[in-house]
Amino acid sequence: MAVDVTPGPIALVGSGEYLPVMLEIERHLIEGRPPKYVQIPTAAAPEGPAVLAKWTRLGAEQAERLGVEAVPLVVHGRAEADDPAIAEQVRGAGLVYMSGGNPGHLAEALRDTALWSEILAAWRGGAALAGCSAGAMAMTSWVPHVRARHRPAERGLGLLPHLRVIPHFDKMLGWAPDLLTRVLLHAPEGVTVLGIDEDTALVGGPDEWTVMGRQSVWTLGHGSRVEHRAGSTIVTPGSEAAGMLGT
Element holding 37 (H helix, E strand): strand 36-40
Distance CA 54, CA 231 (A): 31
- Residue 243 is predicted with a pLDDT of 42
Distance CA 97, CA 41 (A): 8
- Is 67 domain-assigned? yes
Residues in the chain, pLDDT under 50: 1-2, 241-247
DSSP 198-211: TTEEEEE-SSEEEE
Report the alpha-carbon angle 83-56-197, nearest 5. 105
Query: What does DSSP assign to residue 187?
Result: P
- Residue 221 is predicted with a pLDDT of 85
| Strands in 82-166 per DSSP E | 95-98, 128-132, 142-143, 154-155, 163-166
Q: In this predicted model, what pLDDT tens digit does every residue of 57-78 receive, in sequence order?
A: 999 999 999 999 999 999 999 9
Neighbour tally for 203: CB within 10 Å: 19
Q: How many structural domains are present in the chain?
A: 1
- Is 18 domain-assigned? yes
- Is 28 domain-assigned? yes
Distance CA 16, CA 111 (A): 24
- Is 3 domain-assigned? no
Q: Collapsing DSSP states into helix, strand and coil, what is residue 175?
A: helix
- Residue 247 is predicted with a pLDDT of 42
Look up the CATH number of the domain holding residue 232.
3.40.50.880
Residue span of the structural domain in which 108 resides = 10-242
DSSP 16-28: -TTSGGGHHHHHH
- Residue 3 is predicted with a pLDDT of 52
* Closest listed residue to residue 169, CA positions, set 183, 153, 156: 183
Q: In this predicted model, what pLDDT tens digit does every residue of 91-126 receive, in sequence order?
A: 999 999 999 999 999 999 999 999 999 999 999 999
- Is 111 domain-assigned? yes
Distance CA 138, CA 165 (A): 9
- Is 247 domain-assigned? no
- Is 128 domain-assigned? yes
DSSP 67-93: TSEEEE----SHHHHT-HHHHGGGTT-
- Is 179 domain-assigned? yes
List 98's β-bridge partners, or say none: 40, 131
| Cβ proximity of 187 and 193 under 8 Å | yes
Distance CA 181, CA 223 (A): 10
